[in-house]
Amino acid sequence: MSSVADATSPDLRAELTGSEIVLKALVDQGVELIFGYPGGAVLPIYDALFQQNALRHILVRQEGGAVHAAEGYARSTGKVGVVLVTSGPGATNAVTGLTDALMDSIPVICLTGQVPTHLIGNDAFQEADTTGITRPCTKHNYLVKDVRQLARVMHEAFHVATSGRPGPVVIDLPKDVLFAKGPYVGPEAVKHRSYNPRRVPEQARIAEAVDLLMKAKRPIVYGGGGIINSGPDASRLVTEFVRRSGFPCTLTLMGLGAVPAADPHFLGMLGMHGSYEANMAMHDCDVMFAVGSRFDDRVTGRLNAFSPNSRKIHVDIDPSSINKNVRVEVPIVGDVAETMKAILAEWDRRRAEPDRKSLATWWGQIESWRARKCFAIAQGADVIKPQYAVQRLYELTKDRETFITTEVGQHQMWAAQLYRFERPNRWMTSGGLGTMGYGLPAAMGVQLAHPDALVVDVAGEASTLMNIQELSTIVQYRLPVKVFILNNRYMGMVRQWQELLHGNRYSESYMDALPDFVKLAEAFGCVGLRCARPGDLDGVIREMMANGRPTVVDVAVDEKENCFPMIPSGAAHNEMILGPSGKDSPGRPVSEEGMVLV
Amino acid sequence: MPPQQPIERHTISVIADNEPGVLARIVGLFSGRGYNIESLTVAETDASEHLSRFTIVTSGTPMVIEQIKSQLDRLVPVHRVRDMTLGGPHVERELALLKVVATGEKRVESLRLADVFRAKVIDSTIQSFVFEITGATDKVNAFIDILRPLGLVEVSRTGVAAIARGTEAM
């Protein structure tokens, strides 16, 4: 709850309808674009939308697509993504996207229609207990029963969605409240009473951190999505720290782009499908500097074997992320940019010099791991290796302003391993929730925010089908989104686990009746391209890039290719499998305990 | 995971906005993340500011207890979270209403024990008593155990309310 300042200026006293308040609040919050789908309960808002020009509405084809589009928009711009859906099924369809945004800390405001207040609880048509359903999958939610509270709630929601650890906020709007008239107050009049997270770190902790960093013999910087969320300054400052200290740096799936991939200090992504050098360095380091990362199970592997000999510094804006999975010696609650500023200032004040001699030995060790070239593949003349397709996509698109989204599965990991991100906010993927069907709508949101950029959804054929209806949206708005399908006819990651864990029993992971993606694309009004031979790949990618139209590229890839390196569930970082069995892999890759882990 | 830590019992006080759904948020946090609630007491404690106070008795390893507090603290309507168990000396009390149905010697004995435990009789018929007892959880447990063979048929208890000793206010 907040205090609302007295409405003193005359225009603030003018009463507006609930719908007008909603739209005015969005405009005052700097929103330009909303993603939505109409229905009975939100008709008053759609009517108000029709009568204004300040907000652009993007009509998606399913509400789930609206939330992912808003996520893509938010992740690629640093702004809030806004969604408008109706009551009941509109709201329940949004639930997956909301959970996705919660897991990946993406600021999203989702306005849901609701049946009129006097019908709430009566099992009315298209009624669902939206605040009840979305309570565990949002950062916060509101049911507005009184139009006089509406403006305050709208502004408060933006504060909650964007401050601290960002996340999705739902505002449930009963239809009668949208028709009722009430006062409007601007964003400046609303101050939150209880929710004001800390941004600036404690100086004492900064000093402790610098003490540790200066003495480190085998340090590593382990950065995550929090760097991206903190803003471009945070990426710049982390990169500056890495360069000045000469420390090696690895990034999580969500953190890719925070430090340029071309920087020699960058060891690649870490975790289950991370690089050999990144994971070995994490295992053997003596000081770990975790920045905006959260020790997710995909990163740590077996917890009791995770980086056993290191002292750890953990920077996170969310105190509940600290000491959740892994106990750390120096916890720092704060915004990444603020914290890095303080660390660099302290570093300068002390004229800090890292232990260059130990660092040189450490880099020697890292280079020997690097020399294993864990991502190397042998591309033959007949069948396209999926990794090769990603590499070619990177080589041909790297000189253009390119944004990559992904679906979920093997193709996602290959894109993370092999596409090289030089800047933040260029990489949109569903990391925490692992939502198949994320990439196409997310690409739509990215393209709307960056109309002249090249936006490619690196996809799998199974994931793409989960939100394929959004091809219709990209055609309607003439968005030249590229869907680059690595088609192996399997749910590849499921198949890979079945091979490694379940004795090659490919239970229900093969798709017997896939559509003809070229014809499918054409039916929607997109361009459809196909490629089956390695020699044709460059030509097809160039054609895709040049046509300026929404395009689906169906790349037939090696059906049995597995994603390596891999830390099997329940294993430690130094127990990676580097390649297909027989080569660098233990006889039984997965322990009994590992089997029960996901 | 670090070597098995001991399970500890903690009493946590929370001040939060008294708004619809706030109890569901707190309870949902515990069930969703697999934490225990041994008892939970809540009522509005400041009507003008619309604030409620929750007293939650929970158990877990020190790492889990720390998580519980951080997770509670980041709920948007929550103003303050305090670990009474770690926060210095404090007092805990709960109230229980106990119904005993008995005649003859058992009835007389229950009344005698009520006196020993400083429980009050707040209702009686010729076959029954309702006792009211206030005290720390252990004392209430002891009284319940002792009444069981004497015709105890019903128990209603409030759960723990806690407050710090001394001048400091939450």
Hey, what amino acid is at A555? V
* Same domain assignment for residues B76 and B119: no
Domain limits at A303?
203-370
Q: Residue B57 sits in a domain of what CATH number?
A: 3.30.70.260
| Alpha helices (runs of H) in A419-576, residue ranges in sequence order | 439-449, 461-466, 471-476, 492-501, 517-524, 537-546
Summarize pLDDT for A144-193 with one digit per residue, the tens: 999 999 999 999 999 999 999 999 999 999 999 999 999 999 999 888 88
The reply to whether B3 falls in a domain is: no
Beta bridge partners of B8: B60
Token representation of residue A472: 């219709």
Of B1, B2, B24, the CB nearest to A135: B24
Decide if pLDDT at A583 tops 60.
Answer: no
Question: Is the CB of A135 less than 8 angstroms away from the CB of B25?
Answer: yes
* Same domain assignment for residues A364 and A392: no
Q: How many domains does chain B have?
A: 2
Instruction: Give the model's confidence band at A598: pLDDT under 50 very low, under 70 low, under 90 confident, else very high.
Output: confident
* Same domain assignment for residues A315 and A345: yes
The reply to whether A177 falls in a domain is: yes
Summarize pLDDT for A401-457 with one digit per residue, the tens: 999 999 999 999 999 999 999 999 999 999 999 999 999 999 999 999 999 999 999
Residue A89 and residue A125: Cα distance in Å, rounded? 10
Structure ipTM: 0.90
Point out the domain boundary residue: B60, B83, B106.
B83
Domain limits at B136?
90-163
Q: What is the pLDDT of residue A7?
A: 44
**Nearest CA distance, B38 vs chain A (angstrom):** 21
Of A165, A195, A323, the CB nearest to B66: A323
% of chain A beyond a pLDDT of 90 = 89
| Alpha helices (runs of H) in A331-385, residue ranges in sequence order | 336-349, 356-370
Look at residue A421 and give its three-state secondary structure: coil
Residue B37 and residue B26: Cα distance in Å, rounded? 11
Task: Give the residue-averaged pLDDT of A582-597.
Answer: 62
Q: What is the pLDDT of residue B3?
A: 56
Q: Which residues of A touch B28 (CB under 8 A)?
A: 135-136
Q: What is the pLDDT of residue A11?
A: 52
Q: Residue A433 sits in a domain of what CATH number?
A: 3.40.50.970
Point out the domain boundary residue: A192, A222, A243.
A192
Q: How many domains does chain A have?
A: 3
Q: What is the pLDDT of residue B135?
A: 97
* Same domain assignment for residues A350 and A456: no
Point out the domain boundary residue: A163, A192, A221.
A192
**Which of B46, B48, B70, B76 to substitute to test the interface with A, most A CBs within 10 Å?**
B76
Between A49-63, A450-464, A555-569, A573-587, the lowest mean confidence (pLDDT) is in A573-587
* Same domain assignment for residues A135 and A184: yes
**Nearest CA distance, B74 vs chain A (angstrom):** 8
Tell me how far CA of residue B13 lies from CA of A193, A433, B144, B164, in angstroms. Answer: 19, 32, 26, 10
Q: Residue B115 sits in a domain of what CATH number?
A: 3.30.70.1150
Cβ neighbours of residue A141 closer than 8 Å, sequence gap 6 or more: A130, A131, A134, A135, A169, A170, A171, A172
The reply to whether B168 falls in a domain is: no
Question: Is the CB of A143 less than 8 angstroms away from the CB of B20?
Answer: yes
Of B1, B24, B28, the CB nearest to A303: B1
Residue A60 and residue A479: Cα distance in Å, rounded? 13
Decide if pLDDT at A591 tops 80.
Answer: no
* Same domain assignment for residues A490 and A541: yes
Question: Is the CB of A322 less than 8 angstroms away from the CB of B2?
Answer: no
Instruction: Give the model's confidence band at A6: pLDDT under 50 very low, under 70 low, under 90 confident, else very high.
Output: very low
Q: What is the pLDDT of residue A235?
A: 98
Residue A98 and residue A70: Cα distance in Å, rounded? 10
**Nearest CA distance, A374 vs chain B (angstrom):** 28
Decide if pLDDT at A536 tops 50.
Answer: yes
Of A143, A194, A304, the CB nearest to B76: A194
| Alpha helices (runs of H) in A350-476, residue ranges in sequence order | 356-370, 386-397, 410-418, 439-449, 461-466, 471-476
**Nearest CA distance, A469 vs chain B (angstrom):** 33
* Same domain assignment for residues A100 and A41: yes
**Chain A CA closest to residue B65:** A324
Q: What is the 8-class DSSP label of residue A577?
A: B
Q: Which residues of A touch B63 (CB under 8 A)?
A: 323, 327
A199 within 8 A of A334, measured Cβ to Cβ:
yes
Summarize pLDDT for B36-87 with one digit per residue, the tens: 999 999 999 999 999 999 999 999 999 999 999 999 999 999 999 999 999 9
Asked if B2 is an interface residue toward chain A (Cβ–Cβ < 8 A), one would say yes
Q: What is the 8-class DSSP label of residue A125?
A: T
* Same domain assignment for residues A236 and A345: yes
Decide if pLDDT at B13 tops 90.
Answer: yes
Q: What is the 8-class DSSP label of residue A292?
A: S
* Same domain assignment for residues B37 and B63: yes
A218 within 8 A of A190, measured Cβ to Cβ:
no
Residue A582 and residue A574: Cα distance in Å, rounded? 18
Out of A24, A79, A139, A175, pick the active-site residue: A175
Of A132, A164, A320, the CB nearest to B71: A320
Kindly report the average pLDDT of chain B as a whole number: 95
**Chain B CA closest to residue A166:** B74
Beta bridge partners of A313: A289, A330
Q: Which of B88, B18, B85, B29 is nearest to B54 (CA)?
A: B18
* Same domain assignment for residues B57 and B100: no
**Chain B CA closest to residue A161:** B76
Look at the block and give the residue holding tokens 């020190």: B62
Q: What is the pLDDT of residue A589?
A: 58
Summarize pLDDT for A22-75 with one digit per residue, the tens: 999 999 999 999 999 999 999 999 999 999 999 999 999 999 999 999 999 999
Summarize pLDDT for B109-150 with one digit per residue, the tens: 999 999 999 999 999 999 999 999 999 999 999 999 999 999
Q: Is the peptide bond before A174 cis (omega within 30 degrees of 0)?
A: no
Task: Give the residue-averaged pLDDT of A375-382.
Answer: 92
Q: Which residues of A touch B19 (CB under 8 A)?
A: 1
Instruction: Give the model's confidence band at A400: pLDDT under 50 very low, under 70 low, under 90 confident, else very high.
Output: very high
Task: Give the residue-averaged pLDDT of A94-103.
Answer: 98
Question: Is the CB of A193 less than 8 angstroms away from the CB of B70?
Answer: no
Summarize pLDDT for A476-517 with one digit per residue, the tens: 999 999 999 999 999 999 999 999 889 999 999 998 899 999
Out of A126, A379, A469, A476, pick the active-site residue: A126
Residue A11 and residue A48: Cα distance in Å, rounded? 19
